[in-house]
Amino acid sequence: MCGIIAVILAAPGQDAAPEIHQALYYLQHRGQDACGIATCSRGGKILQCKGNGLASKVFHDGARVGNLPGYMGLGHLRYPTAGSSANSEAQPFYVNSPYGICLTHNGNLINAPELKEHLDKEAHRHINTESDSELMLNIFADELNETGKARVNATDCFMALERMYKKCQGAWACTAMLAGFGLIGFRDSHGIRPMVLGERPSTEVEGAMDYMMASESVALSQNGYSNVRDILPGQAVIIEKGKKPVFKQVARQENYAPDIFEYVYFARPESIIDGISVYRARQLMGYRLAETIKKQLTAQEFAEIDAIVPIPETGFVSAYAVSKHLKKPYCQGFVKNRYIFRTFIMPSQTARQRGVRAKLNVVPVEFKDKNVLLVDDSIVRGTTSREIVNMVREAGAKKVYFSSCAPPIANAHIYGIDLASPHELVAYHRDREAIAKHIGADAVIYQTLEDLESACAQDSPRTGEKQKFEVGVFCGKYVTPVSDGYFRHLEELRGEVKKPKVIEAAREAVNGGFAQDEEVKMATNGATVKHNGEVVAMDDEDDMAAKMEAMDLKHSSAVNGAGPVGQKLGEDVKPDARRGDSQDVSLHNFNDYEA
- A 10 A CB-CB count for 62 gives 14
**What distance in Å separates the CA atoms of residue 581 and residue 573, rounded to the nearest whole number?**
13
E strands in 415-507: 443-446
Question: Contact, 4 vs 214, CB < 8 A?
Answer: yes
What is the DSSP code (8-state) at residue 264? I
Q: Which residues contact 367 (CB under 8 A, 6 or more apart)?
A: 309, 333, 392, 395, 396, 397
Parallel, antiparallel, or unpaired: how do β-strands 276-277 and 307-310 relate? unpaired
**What distance in Å separates the CA atoms of residue 28 and residue 141, rounded to the nearest whole number?**
29
Question: In one letter, which amino acid is 95?
Answer: V
Q: How many residues does the structure list for the chain?
A: 595
SS3 109: strand
**What distance in Å separates the CA atoms of residue 257 and residue 264, rounded to the nearest whole number?**
15
E strands in 369-492: 371-376, 399-404, 443-446
Question: Would you give the distance in Å from CA 170 to the centre of its chain?
Answer: 14
Quick one: which of 484, 464, 468 has its CA closest to 476?
484
Strand partners, 109: 170
What is the Cα gyration radius of the chain?
25
**What distance in Å separates the CA atoms of residue 575 and residue 582, rounded to the nearest whole number?**
11
> Between vectors from CA 464 to CA 460 and to CA 467, what angle results, nearest 5°?
55
Active site residue 174: no
DSSP sequence for 151-208: S--HHHHHHHHHHHHHH--EEEEEEEEETTTEEEEEE-TT--S--EEEEEE-SSSTT-
Burial (CB < 10 A; 0-12, 13-18, 19+), residue 170, is buried
**What distance in Å separates the CA atoms of residue 382 and residue 446, rounded to the nearest whole number?**
13
**What distance in Å separates the CA atoms of residue 369 and residue 380, rounded to the nearest whole number?**
28
For 332-350, b where at least 16 C-beta lie within 10 A, e where not — what string?
Answer: ebbeeeeeeebbbbbeeee
**What distance in Å separates the CA atoms of residue 525 and residue 509, rounded to the nearest whole number?**
15
SS3 238: strand
* Residues with catalytic function: 2
